[in-house]
Structure 1
Amino acid sequence: MGGGLCGAPPPRPPLSPLSLLGAIAALGLRFLEHPSDARAAPGGSLRLRCRARGDEEPPELGWERDGAALDGDSDLAQVALPGGAWVATSQLRLSPVSASDSGRYRCWARLGGGARLLSREAHLELAGLPVFLEEPQDLELAVLAPFRLRCSARGPPEPVRLRWLRDGTPQNGLGDPLGQSPSTLWVPGLNRSSSFACEAHNERGVATSRSATVTVLAPAPRNLGLAAAGPRWLEVTWEPGDGFGDTGGDQECTVQLSPGDAAAVAAVADPADPASIADPAAVADPAAVAAVSRSVPVPPFSLRLAGLRPLSRYLARVACRDRRGRSAWSRWVPVATEEGAPEGPPRNVSAAWVGPGRARLRWGPPRDPLNGVLGGFRVGYGTPAHPEVILDVGLAQEASLDLGSLGPNVTLRVVSYTGGGGGPWSPPPLPPPPPAPLETQLVRPAAPAGVWWPALLALLALGALALLALLALAARRRHKETRYGAAFAPAVRFRVRSSYGRRSAQATLNRLGISPELKEKLRDVLVERHRVALGKTLGEGEFGSVVEGTLHQDSGVLRVAVKTMKLAICSRGELEDFLSEAACMKEFDHPNVMKLIGVCLQPWGRGSEGAPPAPIVLLPFMAHGDLHSFLLCARLGDPPTALTPRTLLGFMADIAAGMSYLSQRNFVHRDLAARNCMLDERLRVRVADFGLSKQVGGSQYYRQGRGAPVPVKWVALESLAERVYTTKSDVWSFGVTMWEIAAQGLTPYPGLENSEVFEFLRGGRRLGAPPQCPPHLYALMRRCWAADPRARPTFEELGGALGGLLRGLPPPPGAPAPPHE
């Protein structure tokens, strides 16, 4: 028997496409006008149009390109007809037309949010003169030095053929392999300066590239080397090139220094170009590479360069100029400064007596810069009547001193030293008065018989007087409190217990079994939860939220930003790790790094007894908020605010300086993005949001062990694949942050979902250049996204390159002209 009334109804078959169109037509929806095929020139404007009719209600119209929804500049007009019908018209405006606009367009219509009816396809084809993607650039080369020039162009229409010109003379035919785009012209060398250009041909006509001047230079100086070095200076010598100075007249040479080593310069050379490897100056922009540039009249052929960083590696090169013109640059030569002494004394020096004649001295490491490798500490103690004794205690940060009978006037101090010498001594701490010497406590002169009872009576009288004074003081205070209490009744009166602030935090740490060493480090880090009042939410991120708050201190009320973490602390070990990192972050002291004010421990509440508390991070309140919101407001404001290239490059340079500081302390940020960089009242960027930071040890990497969410569009390729984070993965994130700044707040990888980013990157593709981004700045971003982390630049190199780009910008209006070098 079949299923009766009580059985489940048989499933209904799905509608076929023809049935779906029939159902839509039954509702009275149909197109009156379909979009038409079109052809446009790049940079022009175009409109696509469609019309639809609805018998009972106004149709809704939209557009798609190549099957994807299109949010373009379109308008919609709906007109009611007699009898209740409606006609809707939509026009899609494309202006200016670019290569990305070509494709298959459809218009869709629907009624009341129902199924969509698609129009016929319209094809948009671009046609115009070729557009250059890459043009030949100026070069300065030695005589007969080989070099390459590159040129590429595209249509539509295609194909595009290229012809190279040297001093106006064609170098190839359009049908030659050299005529295919992109094209690389290999020149074995020149003995005189020449100009090169590239012609691009298609059926619409001919476009000509810029003219590149290849200047043939005099022979480069040779035998550049280091003559002497100190902590902050270098002296280099060299020999002039052949024929230098034969024509007489003024002669000078310029020496340039670049931070780094040979690998840093190799990174700016092109491995596919033998000329760039033989002479890095052929492809490296001196203004971008050099951090120090000095010119000197010659002879003698030597120069002393001062103002350098101690214990730092540099690369040096030299070029000379006489009446014939400038010579080629010499090869890069590695040089290095010597180790220097620390610039600051040890910090947090404290002293305490631990017994008769014995004191314990404790201290922390000196502030940076150390200017070398820390060799250890020396402790000094003495009095005006006794010469100072100096002890070397190695790398220990405390010392127990046997001061003998030096007494309370002893002076204690500490100094750190490196291979370059000792730094400044610490200010002497103020120890408490020493206890009475042991001999005084044990050996007392015998009192004569019969004399002890008057002394006892005197002591009893003094004790009674002291007790009466305390009772009188207590009565006066009680009377004062009662009087003020009546004046403000029925208000509740209370007194804050001075011991509550520290005892509560210490009790929590004791309950969790935190080690004594860590508790000592947290003495200046932990802030009691009752001292923090929370206000409005300032922002939500992937890993937490930021709330405005106030911190009630003994010295007053401080406005703060309160960072709460979404990642749960599940064990005592994880809480210990977090608090250890917080103790380290408390020591951060850099103008481009957000300084940690403190950490609160927030109990979870009922039902969570025994669970570790949630950490809350307290940071300074920033007047201009996060960098991402600032960029968006500038671009989308009413009216928009124009941010100058100097301002945007300054933001990038600030972040590079802050990240360089963190990387030198072995901190991996793991969440570097514009949203996690804050702007203070001077529009100076400070790297913030250390909720994901990890301090790494000698291995210099951190492997994420839990399946926590990650900011996919900012994370390096190897971090997505293996959950491994290093300073080099932070460099990748910095490149994406540079892209955000140059694009003024646009979201990276527009059109891609998070799930698509990994395959996009694994296929060798990268973010495209932001609108109006200079090529050399985009090239710096691309270096940050190298698939091999070892090929990415360091934050020090990035800071130097960005500083060079800033110096290359014209000065702002009203600024004094830079001195002539």
Structure 2
Amino acid sequence: MKLLLWILGCFLQSLVGTCGKGVVFTKQPVNQTASQGNKVRLGCAVEGMSEPDIIWIKDGEKLYSTDQLFLTLGEQHWETSYSVRSVQQQDAGQYWCEVELHNQTFSSERAWITVEGVPHFLEEPQDVATFPNVPFNLSCSAVGPPEPVEVLWWLGGVQEGEPQASPSVLYVPGVNSSIKFYCEAKNTRGISVSRTGTAHIKVLPAAPVSLQILRMSDNITLSWIPGFTGHSELSTCIIQVVRLRKGPLSKHEVQVPPHLHVLTGLSSYSNYSVRVSCSNEVGPSPFSSLLHFVTPESVPSVAPKNLTFDLSEQQLSVQWAQLQEEELQGKLLAYKLQWTLGGETQEPLLFKENWARLSGGGRFFNASFQVSACTSVGCGPWSPPVLVLPASAQIQVGRSHMWVGLLLGLLVATVVGLLLTFVAQRRGKETQFGSAFKSPGAESSVFFTAAQSFSRNMTDLQESTLDALCINNELKDKLQDVLIPERLLTLGRTLGKGEFGSVREAILKTEDSSLQKVAVKVLKSDITSSGDIEQCLKEAAYMKDFNHPNVIKLIGVSLHKRPGQRLPIPMVVLPFMKHGDLHTFLLLSRLGEQPFDLSLKTLVQFMFDIARGMEYLSSKNIIHRDLAARNCMLNENMSVCVADFGLSKKIYSGDYYRQGSVSKLPVKWIALESLADNIYTAQSDVWAFGVTMWEIMTRGQTPYPGVENSEIYEFLIKGERLKKPADCRDDIYELMHGCWSPVPKCRPSFQQLVVQLEALHLGLSHTCPPKQPLLYVNLEGDEGELDRGGEAAGPKAPAWSFEAETTAEASSWSVPWQRQAEDEEKDWLMTGSRAALAIGGDYRYIVGPCGTTEEEETWRGRGEAENTTQEEVREDEDDIINF
């Protein structure tokens, strides 16, 4: 191809008579030496081309100059020059000119420009940090032209020795204090002076400053800023931690940088003090100021002990031992008393004290009671169940148990005696026959026993297994260990419906006989295709391997056997998400009967949670393909979990997936390349994440308002994108807009999004928004629930409760770093308050210690302060100042 182009070019050039003549340089650049500040000019002429493009090259780099001139010397003869009006040392180097003809480059001879002037430095003396009276060397190097160059040293304003040839090294035997120094370089053109350096004496570093907590969860992340380093790099830092008045001092030595450390193994809901000291070559710095903090609350670690009762016809008195502070791991909100009668669990009751009196003792006969302690985080384990019986019945039951034991013992003894008699008779017969009928030969006797008996009239009560489904063996093996027997599930109310079926609330009985609230995804009962069933189970198989706090995890799979049907219905068991999907939650904040504010920090936290979940999925080579606010769930801690993997695909090779068939897809969340070519990658999930960010910032608005689904592709291909939401910060919109780049590789990865959103969230953490009341939302809305005024609400009316906190940071899903005395609970018995939400569920009756309801009794007094008093803190500071 190149040959054909060359022949064609040659033919065209032949029309003007230039082909075959070649290119000739009639003038070449020549070497030049000039003094600094003077003008320099290089010339170059070429013959054999019409209007050539002559370029100048310096040290292999193309020069761009406005001073280049072109002169016509003939029809195909051109001359150009390159000039420097005031030449400097940086202009020195090798120059030549080049032209290009028929994809060939022709170069002139090369010439040097040499600049004479005062010396310029190749190496200047640098600052030095040293111990007192320790020798050190200083270096200085300078060049011309012209040469030679001599170096003269100045130390503390005094000349050191005689001039030396460059380069020069000055030996300093040592100094006792900080001192300045520099060198002079001299040639025939003049003198140049180097930078002024300083010899510092190494000293102890200063104490670290700005000791603070970056993150507080199960672990505490500390950060600090080092003080003055003492002219020596810091190597290690010592962190001293003490639990005030209750624990020994612990020390942690960490390498720096970074100036961060994660404290682990701290007790929950405890006061701690921490300080930091950093060391250099000289020694350790003083300690920083003490930082006091309180670790977050946790659920109680043990169940209340010694549950006892006293039953009479009028009332039932129940009492249990109080938990110790170490066992509570938080501030006690209430004791939750659960009772079961006739196999049915009754409405739980809450009590402030460790005892209760319930009227109507007869109704509790044969009831089983359990108790657990609850903090604002949740409730601890249940105590062993205690059966309520009258005193006489207990004695009678005890006697009955004694007689049953005696009868069982007698029966066992009788059976053992019969077995021994049978064995003895069998041995006697063998001996008798063996002596009377001795076999003449070595014949072997054959004995057999029936392995199993069958009855054709028995009913098959076996559970459905995965073998009953027409699915591939690989999928069957993957789900075998998460199969849950149907008898362990009790289905409740419907939480939502869709094309695939429905999601229902359920109770799962675990192996330790405890009950767990779950959500169950059930296929439609009219689905009989094994393909639809296999697609549902594939989604469950994806979720089985997930293990991330921001990705919903599979609990198990169960099979519902249908009478008269060949295939059972698969049911996918998932964790119960208390606050539902993120889209509904956002809509309620804006359009609910009682709208509430969501801070920017909370919205960014939602984005950060989703980005972390998607980063995890992309690391597992999972493409979600249906990321949206409706498919993100909010758990009881208000953390977002990515869910609904019905359209997900696992990539085993390459980095994309091409959809083979047309199906219903979420058009307004799909990337441009996916709409055009049905190609899905991790970057198309990033596009959907940007749309989800827009949903969060608009509190649940529908993307592209006014644009129909059929018009989305034309809308996007013209370069249009979602508009910036109202009150959205520029940096947040810039981040989401970057997710919608038409070039997939130009979009940020989820790993980059996690880093940027974390930085945004940390920046918001250090801001102090105006004090506002916080909103606690109970979305369960069952019948009989109390509203703010204590009156019964309708079945569709969710219960809301407002509760003031000392700072806007202290929310229902985050624990404040610093607890104040004002944080003590107010009206702790209000349904929907922090106490009831933390304990979980909806409570129609909140009962006082004497069996009265909230309307009949008003609690007086306030709990004791959650923080250690100021006097105690001062005492503890005195105790550890010298540790």
State the TM-score bracket (shorter-chain normalisation): 0.3 to 0.5
- Normalised TM-score (structure 1): 0.38
With normalisation by structure 2, the TM-score equals 0.36
- Greater CA radius of gyration, 1 or 2? 2
